[in-house]
């Protein structure tokens, strides 16, 4: 990934709070109103209970960005960044689901981290519908927590713990 592209995505993520506030205050009567700004939620997600040799250090940051004055589909972007803060080389993927204020599902993405050596990051940018809530799917056994790769070895179930930060309300799957 080029340094210019990474810098642009980082700038978008840093400005997310101000854009969200602007979008919430600039909706017209015709547009669907944006949800109120949401403080960053932090959640620690653990592997399946049977895992005793847990590995930590993978952090996933999910930032929804809204652009005021643009149609809803064009106005919403989600930036998903994975950071390996641990000592192991890891690779994983998971499903992210987002929901509106009535908790009706809006979007689902398969989000791969790619192979991340200690200290490395990866970023993905997705178009979205403006959401209020999100959940990281823990039921899909082909991705985290069911399967991942640690130091080149596929592990199932995955021993990887995740630290999740999002500017959406994180909910448990119903």
Query: 159-170, pLDDT tens digit by residue?
Result: 999 999 999 999
Is residue 35 predicted with pLDDT exceeding 70?
Answer: no
Round to whole Å and give the CA distance between 93 and 58.
12
Structure tokens at 101: 């204020």
Instruction: Give the pLDDT confidence score for residue 50 in this predicted structure.
Output: 86
Residue range 112-122: mean pLDDT, rounded: 96
77, 127 in Cβ contact below 8 A? yes
Per residue in 53-65, pLDDT tens?
899 999 999 999 8
Structure tokens at 137: 């799917």
Least confident of 36-40, 63-67, 109-113, 134-138: 36-40
Round to whole Å and give the CA distance between 31 and 147.
41
Is residue 147 predicted with pLDDT exceeding 60?
Answer: yes
On whether the pTM is more than 0.85, the answer is no
């Amino acid at each position: 990934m080029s340094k210019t592209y990474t810098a642009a995505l980082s700038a978008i993520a840093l400005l997310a709070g101000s854009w969200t506030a602007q979008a919430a205050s600039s909706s017209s009567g015709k547009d669907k109103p944006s949800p109120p700004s949401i403080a960053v939620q932090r959640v620690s997600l653990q592997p399946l209970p049977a895992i005793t040799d847990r590995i930590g250090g993978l952090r996933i940051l999910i930032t929804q960005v809204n652009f005021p004055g643009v149609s809803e589909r064009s106005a919403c972007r989600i930036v998903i960044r994975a950071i390996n803060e641990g000592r192991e080389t890891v690779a994983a993927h998971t499903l992210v689901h987002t929901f509106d204020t009535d908790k009706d599902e809006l979007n689902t993405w398969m989000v791969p981290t790619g192979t991340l050596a200690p200290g490395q990051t990866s970023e993905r940018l997705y178009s979205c519908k403006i959401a209020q809530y999100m959940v990281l799917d823990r039921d899909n056994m082909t991705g985290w927590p069911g399967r991942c790769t640690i130091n080149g070895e596929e592990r199932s179930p995955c021993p990887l713990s995740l630290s999740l930060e999002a500017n959406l309300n994180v909910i448990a799957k119903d």
